Amino acid sequence: MFVGLLELACPRRPVILHLRGQDRYSSEVSALALRLMRENTSPTQRVHLHCFGGNLDQVLGWSTAFSRCYFSIAGSVAQFDEIQRAAVRRIPLNRLLVETDSPYLRVQRQCHNTPAYVGEVARKVAQIRQTTLDEILQASLENGRLLYNL
Protein backbone atom coordinates (compact mmCIF):
# COMPACT_ATOMS: atom_id res chain seq x y z
CA MET A 1 0.00 0.00 0.00
CA PHE A 2 2.81 2.45 0.88
CA VAL A 3 4.47 1.89 -2.49
CA GLY A 4 1.14 2.53 -4.21
CA LEU A 5 0.87 5.85 -2.41
CA LEU A 6 4.43 6.73 -3.37
CA GLU A 7 3.46 6.35 -7.03
CA LEU A 8 1.40 9.51 -6.50
CA ALA A 9 4.39 11.41 -5.12
CA CYS A 10 6.04 14.15 -7.10
CA PRO A 11 8.77 16.66 -6.23
CA ARG A 12 6.24 19.51 -6.36
CA ARG A 13 4.44 18.17 -3.30
CA PRO A 14 6.04 16.90 -0.09
CA VAL A 15 5.62 13.39 1.20
CA ILE A 16 4.78 13.58 4.90
CA LEU A 17 5.84 10.62 7.00
CA HIS A 18 5.18 9.86 10.66
CA LEU A 19 7.39 6.86 11.28
CA ARG A 20 6.64 4.91 14.42
CA GLY A 21 7.92 1.49 15.30
CA GLN A 22 8.46 -0.88 18.20
CA ASP A 23 11.83 0.48 19.30
CA ARG A 24 12.35 3.94 20.82
CA TYR A 25 13.89 5.38 17.66
CA SER A 26 11.66 3.60 15.13
CA SER A 27 14.86 2.40 13.46
CA GLU A 28 13.41 -0.56 11.57
CA VAL A 29 10.42 1.40 10.29
CA SER A 30 12.65 4.30 9.27
CA ALA A 31 15.05 2.00 7.41
CA LEU A 32 12.19 0.32 5.55
CA ALA A 33 10.56 3.65 4.65
CA LEU A 34 13.89 5.05 3.48
CA ARG A 35 14.53 2.02 1.28
CA LEU A 36 11.05 2.21 -0.26
CA MET A 37 11.34 5.95 -0.79
CA ARG A 38 14.71 5.53 -2.51
CA GLU A 39 13.28 2.83 -4.78
CA ASN A 40 10.05 4.62 -5.64
CA THR A 41 10.63 8.38 -5.61
CA SER A 42 13.02 10.91 -7.01
CA PRO A 43 16.00 12.01 -4.91
CA THR A 44 14.62 15.53 -5.34
CA GLN A 45 11.39 14.57 -3.60
CA ARG A 46 10.53 16.87 -0.69
CA VAL A 47 10.07 14.84 2.48
CA HIS A 48 8.64 15.96 5.83
CA LEU A 49 9.57 13.61 8.67
CA HIS A 50 6.77 14.62 11.04
CA CYS A 51 7.36 14.14 14.79
CA PHE A 52 10.94 13.00 14.23
CA GLY A 53 12.44 11.26 17.22
CA GLY A 54 15.14 9.18 15.62
CA ASN A 55 18.89 8.81 15.91
CA LEU A 56 21.91 10.25 14.12
CA ASP A 57 22.07 7.40 11.57
CA GLN A 58 18.54 8.29 10.50
CA VAL A 59 19.38 11.98 10.14
CA LEU A 60 22.40 11.14 8.01
CA GLY A 61 20.61 8.47 5.95
CA TRP A 62 17.58 10.61 5.10
CA SER A 63 19.69 13.72 4.50
CA THR A 64 21.98 11.85 2.13
CA ALA A 65 19.17 10.20 0.19
CA PHE A 66 16.92 13.26 0.00
CA SER A 67 18.55 16.67 -0.03
CA ARG A 68 15.11 18.15 0.51
CA CYS A 69 14.24 16.13 3.61
CA TYR A 70 12.98 18.14 6.59
CA PHE A 71 12.97 16.92 10.18
CA SER A 72 10.13 18.19 12.34
CA ILE A 73 10.61 18.12 16.10
CA ALA A 74 7.51 18.02 18.33
CA GLY A 75 6.90 18.37 22.06
CA SER A 76 8.25 14.90 22.75
CA VAL A 77 11.69 16.54 22.47
CA ALA A 78 11.38 17.29 26.20
CA GLN A 79 11.70 13.54 26.87
CA PHE A 80 14.46 12.77 24.32
CA ASP A 81 17.42 10.77 25.52
CA GLU A 82 21.02 11.65 24.64
CA ILE A 83 20.91 9.61 21.41
CA GLN A 84 17.92 11.60 20.18
CA ARG A 85 19.40 14.93 21.37
CA ALA A 86 22.59 14.14 19.43
CA ALA A 87 20.44 13.63 16.32
CA VAL A 88 18.67 16.97 16.90
CA ARG A 89 22.06 18.69 17.08
CA ARG A 90 23.06 17.24 13.70
CA ILE A 91 19.92 18.11 11.74
CA PRO A 92 21.03 20.78 9.27
CA LEU A 93 19.54 24.12 10.33
CA ASN A 94 18.08 24.56 6.84
CA ARG A 95 16.16 21.27 7.28
CA LEU A 96 14.81 21.78 10.80
CA LEU A 97 11.16 22.37 11.69
CA VAL A 98 9.40 22.65 15.05
CA GLU A 99 5.79 21.68 15.70
CA THR A 100 3.47 20.84 18.56
CA ASP A 101 1.53 17.91 17.06
CA SER A 102 -1.38 19.27 19.06
CA PRO A 103 -3.11 17.79 20.99
CA TYR A 104 -0.45 15.06 21.29
CA LEU A 105 3.23 14.97 22.29
CA ARG A 106 3.17 17.72 24.91
CA VAL A 107 6.31 19.53 26.01
CA GLN A 108 4.93 19.69 29.53
CA ARG A 109 2.94 16.68 30.64
CA GLN A 110 0.73 18.66 33.02
CA CYS A 111 -0.77 21.00 30.42
CA HIS A 112 -3.03 20.61 27.43
CA ASN A 113 -1.17 20.87 24.15
CA THR A 114 -2.09 23.55 21.63
CA PRO A 115 -0.23 25.19 18.73
CA ALA A 116 0.46 28.04 21.16
CA TYR A 117 3.22 25.89 22.67
CA VAL A 118 5.36 25.80 19.53
CA GLY A 119 7.65 28.33 21.21
CA GLU A 120 8.22 25.87 24.06
CA VAL A 121 9.23 23.20 21.57
CA ALA A 122 11.56 25.67 19.83
CA ARG A 123 13.02 26.71 23.21
CA LYS A 124 13.86 23.08 24.02
CA VAL A 125 15.41 22.55 20.57
CA ALA A 126 17.46 25.75 21.02
CA GLN A 127 18.73 24.45 24.38
CA ILE A 128 19.74 21.13 22.85
CA ARG A 129 21.47 22.82 19.92
CA GLN A 130 23.00 25.53 22.16
CA THR A 131 21.64 28.34 20.05
CA THR A 132 19.02 31.04 20.34
CA LEU A 133 15.27 30.65 20.34
CA ASP A 134 15.08 33.24 17.56
CA GLU A 135 17.43 31.23 15.33
CA ILE A 136 15.28 28.10 15.70
CA LEU A 137 12.00 29.96 15.11
CA GLN A 138 13.35 31.83 12.08
CA ALA A 139 14.79 28.65 10.56
CA SER A 140 11.57 26.74 11.12
CA LEU A 141 9.50 29.49 9.54
CA GLU A 142 11.73 29.72 6.47
CA ASN A 143 12.02 25.95 6.14
CA GLY A 144 8.26 25.53 6.37
CA ARG A 145 7.83 28.06 3.58
CA LEU A 146 10.32 26.21 1.38
CA LEU A 147 8.93 22.77 2.13
CA TYR A 148 5.34 23.75 1.37
CA ASN A 149 5.98 26.40 -1.32
CA LEU A 150 4.36 29.14 0.74
pLDDT bracket for residue 90 (50, 70, 90)? very high
CATH number of the domain enclosing 110: 3.20.20.140
Number of structural domains (the chain) is: 1
Task: Please indicate, yes or no, if residue 67 is contained in any of the structural domains.
Answer: yes
Q: What does the pLDDT look like over 110-147, one tens digit per residue?
A: 567 777 789 999 999 999 999 999 999 999 999 999 99
Task: Please indicate, yes or no, if residue 111 is contained in any of the structural domains.
Answer: yes
Please tell me the predicted confidence (pLDDT) of residue 2.
Answer: 76
Q: Which domain holds residue 48?
A: 14-147
C-alpha 6/C-alpha 142 separation (Å) is 26
pTM recorded for the entire structure: 0.92
Task: Please indicate, yes or no, if residue 37 is contained in any of the structural domains.
Answer: yes
Task: Please indicate, yes or no, if residue 78 is contained in any of the structural domains.
Answer: yes
Task: Please indicate, yes or no, if residue 7 is contained in any of the structural domains.
Answer: no
Greatest extent of the chain over all pairs of C-alpha atoms, in Å: 43
Task: Please indicate, yes or no, if residue 8 is contained in any of the structural domains.
Answer: no
